[in-house]
Each structure stands twice: as structure tokens, then as C-alpha cells.
């Protein structure tokens, strides 16, 4: 195990295993079962977010074994790590949802620390749900070692009364139940049918949106993320990823920061628009760009939003992600965007360019899940970036699932998700209302909870197209209706939303890209509240997290080096005005 002094042959792991001084480290590696030959090989991290608390990450520990086999077959030694996952579908509507976005930072931090702390040579990242996916890309960008990301895969759709159902249908059934449209037995029927096995939520919700994003970024091989979690080919995909990371190591790249460029990020933004994907993708792409040191802002998403919706996917469309896989998968979207000149060629983790991968993909003779750009489902993408009285730093309007572009009505102001849900459940929200949920941003929540319980209940009551909802929190990818989220600066840091009052007339104009109020907010004092959480991880998160308009990141990135993005406000984080 002596260092031969040849810099060309040196690897990161030589720092812990080569030379006399590292005999103690080698002794500990031997205790894990590694012999001289295994220690001498490149050491590749296999990091996964396995958990048995939900279906989303349930298969990742098995996939890790197959990824490890691929690494061994290509001359490397796999080193396995596990990190955490917070399951949004379970936490939704509870205080536990505050942990979700914060977990993205913890996951990225833990991957970075485990891989760099052991001086490993490359990494295969296995992820399975909403925050684990962007966290994997963020960590990969930070580490900038040879690496590949594989999504554990979508769940198969459930079947209820002859139609495909997902977790979205369960949330909306709760609203229908509160409206008296279905009884306990009918709710239980949907509940028991919606999630038939392992895999992440089945529509073009956040998990499947972000899995597609990884493909368009080039850090996941085209087609492999599409394979459902329980499909027979998923283990083979993991094996291929193990081989692939060794190829990138042996060839010296391309490395993650060679791949995650402004062009790749724009490609991903166009794909989100074309599939009416989750608005969470905007914040996650901003965070990935931050970690990769790429200048990228909300206006990039506005530019991409002109891309028509061509994928007929839930929550607004007919098909689940598994059904799209059966008809050709992500390559269908890529082919159409390439043909229309809406995406650019980029390097990928496979060693081939993205366009080479698209051209080499197999396509069915017939399919009806993805349309050509000449015959779109909608002429404009699934979101728009707005600014105005209530959002000087910007916010995101979700357009998928309805045709209207303007909404104006009286504000119904709630200082927490729970207070709003209670009003919805009690049928105190009326058609024409603008429902406002504030103090739920990254700092104020803390953790920027998603509002799926509220939005799904409104849809279930038949109000999905008749009310608007605005918040400094977030929406699930399963949300549909006229919804505005990520309002920045948030209420907790003195944002204008804190000055809004019950009955104020709020106007939202998608075409004009504005969100304004018929009131002089400069003459009002903001609502003031005490912080919800003052100790522990979430309190630490609230003190360090930046604006949602800049990705809600907590760590310095290559472009700033010293400070994280901050909100322009006169309010100190030591003197918050929280609920």
C-alpha cells in the first residue's frame, strides 16, 4: 500500500489509504472486510436515502447492492452510506412538514461530509422523493467528483373503480368527504387503492418532475430514472450506474460542474414547463445552480415558461409517470423539445452528449402521452413568475389545470396552514375569495411547508377553479388550481404579505406578471408574531436560510463564497415577526 509517487495515478482515496502514516486507516478498512486488493482500488461512495417509513425510498437499499456490483465489475470498491428522508406525503398538513425543505440541506450536507470526509473517489447517489432528489444534485455539485444520480422510480398507479389513482386522489377525496360528496367507505376505498407498492408519488408531482430535471441536467442517464421502482429493469439500471461512475473516473470526466451549466439548467426549466411540472422545481434548480456556481435566477424560469405543455400528465392531465414510461418516457419530451430548438446540446454523465442520447433512444410507433409542439395541450407552460406590491422579489403562479389568467377578489387572511385548513373544512371559503396563508416561508414556517392539504380540500369541494390561494409557503407538485407560492420576501421578514388585511382586494394577472393589492401598504405596520420554534435544527435553519427567490439555500456557494443570499429587509432574524 505504498504511494508510488506518480501524480497521474493518485486518487482522492490515497489520502486515507496510501503510505506508512495511513496504516491505522487501512487497519480499520480491513475490519470491514476489505482486503489489500479492495483497498488498492478506487473507492466509490454509494449513498442512498433508504427508509421504510414510506414507499418512496423503499427499494434504494437493494439498488445500492446492484450499484456496488457494477462498481466492482469495473474495478472499484463500493463504500455504502445512508442518509435521511422526510416523506412529504406523510408529513403534509402536519407540523412535521416543516422538516421537509430543511431536510434538503441536511441531506446535501451529510452526503458532502461523508464523501469528502472519507476522501472517496466518486459517488453513485440513489434518491427517491421530493427533497432527496435535489439534495443529491446539490451535493454532487459541491463535491465535483465523478458521479451519477439514479432516481429510485415512480410508484405504479393504483386502481379504484376502474381508473388509475394516485396519492393526489386521496388528498382530494378528503375534500370531497368534508363536502359530503363521498362517505367514509368511499374515502377508505380510495385510500387503500392509491399506493399499491414501492415508489414515489405517481404523477408529474415534485419527485417525478425532479427526476426528469436530473435527466435534462445530464447527471442521470436518459431513460433510467423513468423505470418504475418495482420494474424488473431497475436493478440493471443501478448496475449500469455503478459502471458509469467508474468510466467517468477512468476517463477523467465530465465532472458534475462540467455538466451542470447554464445551458443544462435552462434545458431542465423548459422540460418542467413542457410537462406542467411542480413549481418546486424552480426553487430546487436555483439551489442546484447556487451549489454549482452558475448564475441563474427566476427570470430564467419565466423565459422557459413560454414552452407549451406537451405532456398529458397528472395532476392536470390523464397519465401517471409509470404510464408515460410504458409509452416512451422522458425521451419523448426531449425529442420534441430538441426538434423545436428549445433545448441545447450538453455533456452528460454517460460520456455522450444529450442529443446523442436522445437520437439513440427507442421510440414507440404510437403514443398519446406527449404531443408535438405544433399541437400542444396548452400554448403556455405550467407556471409564471410574478412581481408586484405583494412580491417585490418574485413569486410563482401555477397555471396547470385551468385556463384562466387573471383573478381578483377579497383577501381571506390566515397566519398558518392549520387556521386556513380549519376554515376550508368548515366551508367558510367562498367562490371568488383570495385565500392568503402567510408566515409559512423558509424562515417563518420555519421550513416553507407545502399546502397540498388545503389546495386538495378546495378542489375536493369543487372550488379549485373558483378561488385563488397565495402564500409565502409552497405547493405540492400534486396541487392544481389558481395558486401562487414562494412569495418573497416572506411575511416573517417584513415582506408585504405581513401587511395584508382581511378584505383587501388582491389582483393576480398572469399575462401582466403582477400580483398587487388595492391598498397603500406603506401606511401599515406588519403583523407581528413570536417565532414558532426557538431551539433545535429548525431554529438553526431559520437563522441561516436565504430567500425562496434564490433557492432557499443555507450554505455559501462558489459565486458568493462568504455569504448566502439574503432578503432585503429592515427586520433582524433576532427580532422576527412570526406567527
Residue 25 grid coordinates: 486507516
Contacts 24+ apart (CB under 8 A), 540-547: 541/102, 541/105, 541/442, 541/446, 541/447, 542/442, 542/443, 542/444, 542/446, 542/573, 542/576, 543/573, 545/102, 545/105, 545/442, 545/443, 545/446, 546/442, 547/393, 547/442, 547/488, 547/489, 547/490
β-bridge partners, 517: 506
For 286-300, 425-439, 471-485, 564-578, which range has the lowest pLDDT when averaged over its residues? 564-578
173: part of which helix (H) or strand (E)? helix 167-178
- Helices 330-339, 262-274: inter-axial angle, 10-degree rounding: 110
In sequence order, the 6+-apart residues with CB closer than 8 A to the CB of 324 are 226, 311, 313, 330, 332, 369, 370
Contact predicate 243/73, CB 8 Å: yes
pLDDT digits (tens, 9 = 90+) for 255-282: 999 999 999 999 999 999 999 998 899 9
Residue 4: is its pLDDT beyond 80? no
Which residues sit in the known binding site for [2Fe-2S] cluster?
Answer: 56
pLDDT at 374: 95
Percent of the chain with pLDDT over 70: 93
pLDDT at 570: 37
SS3 202: coil
Burial class (CB in 10 A: 0-12, 13-18, 19+), 35: exposed
| Active site amino acids | 476
pLDDT digits (tens, 9 = 90+) for 8-26: 468 999 999 999 999 999 9
Contact predicate 335/329, CB 8 Å: no
DSSP state of 505: E
Which of 94 and 355 is assigned the larger pLDDT? 355
Which residues sit in the known binding site for Mg(2+)?
Answer: 88, 130-131, 450
pLDDT at 563: 46
For 6-10, 176-180, 313-317, which range has the lowest pLDDT when averaged over its residues? 6-10
How confident is residue 569, by pLDDT bands cut at 50, 70 and 90? very low
Give the residue-averaged pLDDT of 23-41: 97
Residue 175: is its pLDDT beyond 90? no
Contact predicate 562/429, CB 8 Å: no
How confident is residue 561, by pLDDT bands cut at 50, 70 and 90? low
Q: What is the mean pLDDT of the chain?
A: 92
Burial class (CB in 10 A: 0-12, 13-18, 19+), 116: middle
For the chain, give percent helix, strand, coil, nearest 5: 40, 15, 45
pTM of the model: 0.93
Which residues sit in the known binding site?
Answer: 56, 88, 130-131, 450
Contact predicate 49/107, CB 8 Å: yes
Among positive and negative, which fits the CA dihedral 119, 124, 128, 134? positive
For 123-132, 163-172, 527-536, which range has the lowest pLDDT when averaged over its residues? 163-172
Distances (CA, A) of 227 to 55, 222, 224, 233, 328: 15, 11, 6, 7, 10
pLDDT digits (tens, 9 = 90+) for 401-458: 546 789 999 999 999 999 999 999 999 999 999 999 999 999 999 999 988 778 878 8
Percent of the chain with pLDDT over 90: 82
pLDDT digits (tens, 9 = 90+) for 82-115: 999 999 889 887 889 999 999 999 999 999 999 9
Amino acid at each position: 500500500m505504498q504511494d508510488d509517487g506518480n501524480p497521474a495515478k493518485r486518487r482522492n482515496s490515497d489520502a486515507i489509504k496510501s503510505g506508512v502514516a495511513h496504516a491505522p486507516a487501512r487497519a480499520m478498512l480491513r475490519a470491514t472486510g476489505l482486503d489489500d486488493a479492495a483497498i488498492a482500488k478506487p473507492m466509490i461512495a454509494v449513498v442512498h436515502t433508504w427508509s421504510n417509513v414510506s414507499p418512496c425510498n423503499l427499494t434504494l437499499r437493494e439498488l445500492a447492492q446492484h450499484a456496488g456490483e457494477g462498481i466492482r465489475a469495473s474495478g472499484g470498491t463500493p463504500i455504502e452510506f445512508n442518509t435521511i428522508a422526510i416523506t412529504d406525503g406523510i408529513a403534509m398538513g402536519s407540523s412535521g412538514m416543516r422538516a421537509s425543505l430543511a431536510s434538503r440541506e441536511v441531506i446535501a450536507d451529510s452526503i458532502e461530509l461523508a464523501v469528502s470526509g472519507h476522501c472517496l473517489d466518486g459517488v453513485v447517489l440513489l434518491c427517491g422523493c421530493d427533497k432527496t432528489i435535489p439534495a443529491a444534485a446539490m451535493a454532487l455539485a459541491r463535491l465535483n467528483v465523478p458521479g451519477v444520480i439514479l432516481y429510485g422510480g415512480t410508484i405504479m398507479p393504483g386502481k379504484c373503480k376502474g381508473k388509475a389513482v394516485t396519492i393526489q386522489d386521496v388528498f382530494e377525496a378528503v375534500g370531497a368527504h368534508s363536502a359530503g360528496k363521498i362517505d367514509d367507505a368511499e374515502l377508505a376505498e380510495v385510500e387503500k387503492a392509491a399506493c399499491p407498492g414501492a415508489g414515489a408519488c405517481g404523477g408529474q408531482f415534485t419527485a417525478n418532475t425532479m427526476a426528469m430535471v436530473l435527466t435534462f441536467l445530464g447527471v442521470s442517464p436518459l431513460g433510467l430514472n423513468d423505470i418504475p421502482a418495482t420494474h424488473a429493469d431497475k436493478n440493471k439500471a443501478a448496475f449500469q450506474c455503478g459502471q458509469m461512475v467508474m468510466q467517468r473516473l477512468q476517463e477523467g470526466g465530465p465532472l458534475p460542474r462540467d455538466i451542470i451549466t447554464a445551458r443544462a439548467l435552462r434545458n431542465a426549466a423548459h422540460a418542467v414547463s413542457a410537462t406542467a411540472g411542480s413549481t418546486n422545481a424552480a426553487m430546487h434548480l436555483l439551489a442546484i445552480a447556487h451549489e454549482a456556481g452558475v448564475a441563474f435566477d427566476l427570470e430564467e424560469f419565466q423565459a422557459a415558461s413560454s414552452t407549451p405543455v406537451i405532456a398529458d400528465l397528472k395532476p392536470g392531465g390523464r397519465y401517471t409517470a409509470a404510464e408515460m414510461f410504458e409509452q416512451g418516457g422522458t425521451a419523448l419530451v426531449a425529442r420534441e423539445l430538441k426538434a423545436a430548438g428549445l433545448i441545447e446540446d450538453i455533456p452528460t454523465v454517460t460520456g455522450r452528449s444529450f442529443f446523442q442520447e436522445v437520437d439513440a433512444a427507442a421510440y414507440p410507433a404510437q403514443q398519446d402521452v406527449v404531443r408535438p409542439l405544433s399541437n400542444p395541450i396548452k400554448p403556455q407552460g405550467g407556471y409564471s413568475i410574478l412581481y408586484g406590491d405583494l412580491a417585490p422579489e418574485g413569486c410563482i403562479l401555477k397555471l396547470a389545470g385551468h385556463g384562466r389568467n387573471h383573478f381578483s377578489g377579497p383577501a381571506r387572511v390566515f397566519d398558518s396552514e392549520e387556521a386556513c385548513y380549519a376554515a376550508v373544512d368548515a366551508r367558510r371559503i367562498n367562490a371568488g375569495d383570495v385565500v392568503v396563508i402567510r408566515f409559512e416561508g423558509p424562515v417563518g414556517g420555519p421550513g416553507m411547508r407545502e399546502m397540498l392539504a388545503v389546495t386538495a380540500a378546495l378542489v375536493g369541494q369543487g372550488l379549485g377553479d373558483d378561488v385563488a390561494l397565495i402564500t409565502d409557503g409552497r405547493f405540492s407538485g400534486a396541487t392544481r388550481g389558481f395558486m401562487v407560492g414562494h412569495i418573497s420576501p416572506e411575511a416573517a421578514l417584513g415582506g408585504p404579505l405581513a401587511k395584508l388585511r382581511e378584505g383587501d382586494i388582491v389582483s393576480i394577472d398572469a399575462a401582466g406578471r403582477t400580483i398587487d393589492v388595492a391598498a397603500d401598504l406603506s401606511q401599515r405596520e406588519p403583523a407581528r408574531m413570536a417565532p414558532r420554534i426557538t431551539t433545535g435544527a429548525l431554529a438553526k435553519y431559520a437563522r441561516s436560510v436565504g430567500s425562496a427567490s434564490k433557492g432557499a439555500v443555507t450554505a455559501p456557494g462558489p459565486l458568493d463564497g462568504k455569504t448566502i443570499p439574503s432578503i432585503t429587509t429592515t427586520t433582524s432574524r433576532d427580532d422576527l415577526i412570526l406567527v
